[in-house]
């Protein structure tokens, strides 16, 4: 395998045809950031057959597992799962190399690594500076979904998002109507583990608001 990461210098140069051969003219709209073993990704593909969902995972073995999983599912159920794919990348560094401004409609951060130490907080995948990047990549009205079983991390993510001028919290009434929300608890492998351990699951969803400098 190659330890170094390949990434295009600009989204124009990304060849998506190998990932989504059946959808040559479509763009990725949903990103599962740190997708792990891909449980949520597969669920998203089934729930939104007309949307391309991409899992982003930094670990070589884990990303290979997800690629194999998708390949097997496509063979088992011909015509299905063509709208999901996994890419090995560092999502904290290269997202703007893959996606255009405003391209994404939903970004998922399920059970991100907590990085408990104070000095490591800037390594968290939700941080003030990364939120500005996510705001750039999301369309107006696009959503960021976060789930964690770590209360301290939940508070941190909520604080970063509350303070960020480009995001507003989505109300409970709206979440009650969102078909994605029921999938957030148990479709990912980490979510299933937390269920087995009777852990808490803390959800926070935010909307990318209009850019005040766009008219």
Catalytic residues: 113
Q: Smallest gap, in angstroms, from Cβ of residue 59 to ligand SAM?
A: 4
Residue (14 or 209) nearer to ligand SAM, CB: 14
Main-chain phi, psi angles of 146, to 5 degrees: -125, 140
Draw the binding track, 168-207, toward ligand SAM (x: CB under 6 A; -: no contact).
--------------------xxxx----------------
Interaction between residue 149 and ligand SAM (CB under 6 A):
no
Is residue 166 at the binding interface for ligand SAM, with CB under 6 A as the rule? no
Site for ligand SAM contains 62 (CB under 6 A): yes
Pick from 17, 90, 171, 195: which binds ligand SAM (CB under 6 A)?
90
Are 203 and 181 in contact by the 8 Å Cβ rule? The answer is: yes
CA angle centred on 39, ends 38 and 41, rounded to 5°:
65
Q: Which residues contact 149 (CB under 8 A, 6 or more apart)?
A: 111, 194, 199, 200, 201, 202
For tokens 């699951």, the residue is 201
Residues ≥6 apart with Cβ < 8 Å to 152: 114, 116
- Here the tokens at position 158 are 């909520």
Tokens of 151: 């209360």
Residues placed in the known binding site for S-adenosyl-L-methionine:
34, 57-58, 90-91, 110, 188-190
Per CB under 6 A, residues contacting ligand SAM are 34-36, 56-59, 62, 90-92, 110-113, 125, 188-191
Residues placed in the known binding site:
34, 57-58, 90-91, 110, 188-190
């Amino acid at each position: 395998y190659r330890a170094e990461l390949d990434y295009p210098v600009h989204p124009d140069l990304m060849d998506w045809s190998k990932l989504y051969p059946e959808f040559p003219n479509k763009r990725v709209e949903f990103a599962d950031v740190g997708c792990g073993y891909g449980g949520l990704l597969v669920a998203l593909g089934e729930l939104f057959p007309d949307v391309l969902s991409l899992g982003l995972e930094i670990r070589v073995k884990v990303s290979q597992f997800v690629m194999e999983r998708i390949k097997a599912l496509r063979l088992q159920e011909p015509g299905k799962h063509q709208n999901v794919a996994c890419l090995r990348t560092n999502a904290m560094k290269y997202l703007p190399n893959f996606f255009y401004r405003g391209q994404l409609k939903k970004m998922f951060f399920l059970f991100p690594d907590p990085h408990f130490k104070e000095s490591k907080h800037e390594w968290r995948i939700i941080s003030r500076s990364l939120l500005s990047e996510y705001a750039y990549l999301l369309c107006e009205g696009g959503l960021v979904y976060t789930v964690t079983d770590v209360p301290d991390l939940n508070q941190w993510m909520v604080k970063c998002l509350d303070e960020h001028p480009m995001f507003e919290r989505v109300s409970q009434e709206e979440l009650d109507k969102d078909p994605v929300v029921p999938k957030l608890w148990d479709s990912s492998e980490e979510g299933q583990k937390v269920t087995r351990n009777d852990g808490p699951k803390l959800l926070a969803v935010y909307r990318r608001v209009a850019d005040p400098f766009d008219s």
